[in-house]
Amino acid sequence: MDPRPPLPWTGVRDASKEGPKCIQFDLITSTIVGEEDCLYLNVATTSLQGSRPVMVWIHGGAFIFGDGSSAMYSPDYLMKTDIVFVSIQYRLGVLGFLQLDHEVMPGNAGLKDQVAALKWVKENISQFGGDSNNITIFGESAGSASVHYHLVSPLSKGLFHKAIMQSGVILNPWVITPPTVETAHRLAALLGKETTDVHEIVEHLRTIPALQLIQAELQVPTPEDKIRFLFPFRPSIDDKSEQPFLPKNAKELAVKGIDVPVIIGYNSHEGLFFLMGLVDETLETVDKNFEVVVTENLIAENPSKISEVASEIRNFYFKDKSVTRETLDDYVQCYGDLYFVNGVLKTVEYQQKKPKTPTYLYKFTRENPQSMSKLLFKVPLKGAAHADELPYLFHTKLYADLFKFEPNSIEQKLSDAMVKMWTDFAKTGNPTPQTDNDLIPVKWSPVTRTSKNYLEIGDELSARANPDEEVSQLFNRISDIVKSQ
């Protein structure tokens, strides 16, 4: 069901407390938390007067978990720069992304929740001292992929003016691989309804309490889905909808490029995320049958090439070595490139053909010994993991003790620099309008037709060109293999 406009109220509404998160399985506590009534947004402003740039944050979490609360994403650092900050929430998992390729359940309810939130911001943010003509949307992981979706969706046109994508685009396999109607059939069967009749499935699921739906959702992925990190409910083509959010294949829309200024980037060791909960059996499966690593999007045009593509990938990352705990570094790079880096670099290549629209590329390489992945998930290797940039932009109240930056430390200076670049971009469309100071000593140049200029965000800031070129070449070779007869 599409979101409905909020009901008006009389008198004064108490909005001093944040609304509940959307119902979901909590990775940290292994419990189900949140509520169905969860479509709330948070606004932070220093004054109701004036007209300041607006930054709208879309949280990540693979479209199945996460929230927009200040416990995780407190905007304390951003607010020092005179902007208005908004964080939004959207339905997750089965409640946000169940689809039956039919008008009664076309899919993408969670993304339409985001559109409803962006419309609310556009219409109301001036009441909070925000400029409705200067809105930047930004997000990380699934939130970043959501940003990319809004950049290409007809429903989101005109609702924002700039965008920042952190480690997530619609070309990533965990986003672009379409969920199947069979997934919904499996869910219905788990909940006692063995049928392929769309109306019967929907009627039955509406009788099931949300808690049970989430519990059943956890049982839907196949063993192969788990190895490929494909969660069962995610964005899909919704052309059966009266108002489609995604009327065409995501790749078709991505190839056309983006028409607003963007910052886009990734972290050096995104694949560390995939070590979370890794068991030896998974490594053995990958070692014996490396084809399970090959994501569907790579071979969609010619699935018969799967073994050749698997050999190309294995040779590039592992050469003649086995996939074991001794080769975890290679495993990390392989999965990080497959699931994040390749999609980001491909998106940038499409943007290189549109040089009039500035695209600023970054690679985050700073390794913080107190990163989320290392502390919470006990990931053993070094490197900047997925989401490791977030504590530099947000005061993470939930883990405040973990992310205390000492004054004048590298961490504090890097945080100050990132906050300035992100908010300067929101204000002007240029992340480094001034570079004559100690904080921002280099100019961050946009990509051009011939060069992927990028900013390396590490122990210091450095301007470079063409990151991970050998990775781009690998995926170009894979593309040639798939196209060959």
Rounded to two decimals, the pTM is 0.96
DSSP three-state, residue 104:
coil
What is the C-alpha separation between 217 and 399, in angstroms, rounded? 28
- Residue 336 token pair: 């990080």
What is the C-alpha separation between 36 and 20, in angstroms, rounded? 9
Q: Which of 236, 241, 269, 270 is catalytic?
A: 270
Please measure the distance between the N-terminal and C-terminal CA atoms of the chain and give it in whole angstroms. Answer: 44
Which residue, chain included where needed, has tokens 């119902």? 23
Please, which pLDDT band fits residue 234 given cuts at 50, 70 and 90?
very high
Question: What domains can you pick out in the chain, each with its CATH number?
Answer: 24-279+359-466 (3.40.50.1820)
For residue range 403-454, list pLDDT tens digits in order. Answer: 788 889 899 999 999 999 999 999 999 999 988 788 999 999 999 999 999 9
Q: What is the pLDDT, as a whole number, of residue 376?
A: 67
Q: Which of 141, 144, 156, 371 is catalytic?
A: 141
Which residue, chain included where needed, has tokens 């050469």? 319
Q: What is the pLDDT, as a whole number, of residue 250?
A: 85
pLDDT of 3 over the 80 cut: yes
* Residue among 68, 39, 43, 12 at smallest CA distance from 132: 43
* Residue among 332, 338, 346 at smallest CA distance from 264: 346
Q: Which of 140, 386, 395, 472 is catalytic?
A: 386
Residues 117-125, mean pLDDT to the nearest whole number: 98
Residues 84-100, mean pLDDT to the nearest whole number: 96
What is the C-alpha separation between 485 and 475, in angstroms, rounded? 18
Question: Which strand (E) or helix (H) includes residue 115?
Answer: helix 109-124
For residue range 8-34, list pLDDT tens digits in order. Answer: 889 998 998 999 999 999 888 889 999
* Residue among 311, 322, 419, 337 at smallest CA distance from 74: 419
Please, which pLDDT band fits residue 369 given cuts at 50, 70 and 90?
confident
Please, which pLDDT band fits residue 377 given cuts at 50, 70 and 90?
low
Please confirm, yes or no, whether 141 is among the known catalytic residues.
yes
Residues 455-475, mean pLDDT to the nearest whole number: 96
% residues pLDDT > 90 (the chain) = 77
Residue, of 280 and 311, whose pLDDT is higher: 311
Please confirm, yes or no, whether 386 is among the known catalytic residues.
yes
Q: What is the pLDDT, as a whole number, of residue 1?
A: 79
